């Protein structure tokens, strides 16, 4: 199973249904486009320009989306286990999660996407080691910049007596 995927495509205008992805998805917009997201029963517009990034964590709901025109896009997808590998022994991977970002500027993510595109165009399938190294570097960056610790809420049954020190 591949633990990362690189996609470079010309995305069509139109509508994408609501979905949940089983991978973390990073989108690098290479052209200007207006996207509309269906949330709370209403369409909300967001304008993207070249270099904008969207981060959709695995298992997060991606709302129904429509785009107004055809545009070029780089998609980088990572298996959740890829982030676990990046964390390694330094933290409990199951206690860290990515925060969704529908629009942000991050020159490092943009450059990693463009570097992978250039490498694949120049060398092709023989660039596996390069791509794997970039996937790990990207994972570390995502965790440092866009990760948060999951808050575990403990359940108490005996009231304040069990919570407060005696």
- Domain ranges for the chain, please list them: 4-163
CB contact at 8 A, 94 and 49: no
Q: Which two tokens stand for residue 77?
A: 């997808």
Mean pLDDT, residues 67-89: 85
Residue 89 has pLDDT above 90, yes or no: no
Question: 65 CB contacts (<8 Å, ≥6 apart)?
Answer: 15, 16, 35, 36, 37, 38
Question: CATH for 4-163?
Answer: 2.60.120.10
Residue of 110, 92, 95 lying closest to 55 (CA atoms): 110
- For 40-70, how does the pLDDT look when each residue is reduced to its tens digit (9 = 90+)? 899 999 999 999 999 999 999 889 999 999 9
For residue 17, give Cα distances in angstroms to 49, 116, 125.
Answer: 23, 28, 32
Q: How many CA atoms lie within 13 A of 95 on its CB side?
A: 9
**Mean pLDDT value across residues 30-49:** 94
pLDDT in tens, 98-152: 899 999 999 999 999 999 999 888 887 677 888 888 888 999 899 999 988 765 5
pLDDT value at residue 5: 86
């Amino acid at each position: 199973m591949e633990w990362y995927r690189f996609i470079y495509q010309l995305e069509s205008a139109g509508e994408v249904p609501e979905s949940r992805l089983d991978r973390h998805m990073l989108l690098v917009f290479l052209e200007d486009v207006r996207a509309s997201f269906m949330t709370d029963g209403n369409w909300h517009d967001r304008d993207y320009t070249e270099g904008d990034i969207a981060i959709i964590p695995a298992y997060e709901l991606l709302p129904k989306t429509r785009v107004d025109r055809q545009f070029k896009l780089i998609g980088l997808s990572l298996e959740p286990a890829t982030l676990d590998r990046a964390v390694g022994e330094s933290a409990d991977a199951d206690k860290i999660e990515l925060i969704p970002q529908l629009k942000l500027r991050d020159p490092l993510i943009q450059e990693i996407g463009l570097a992978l595109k250039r490498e694949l165009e120049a060398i092709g399938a023989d660039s596996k080691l390069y791509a794997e190294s970039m996937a790990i570097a990207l994972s570390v960056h995502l965790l440092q910049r866009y990760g948060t610790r999951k808050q575990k809420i403990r359940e108490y049954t005996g009231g304040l007596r069990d919570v407060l020190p005696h």
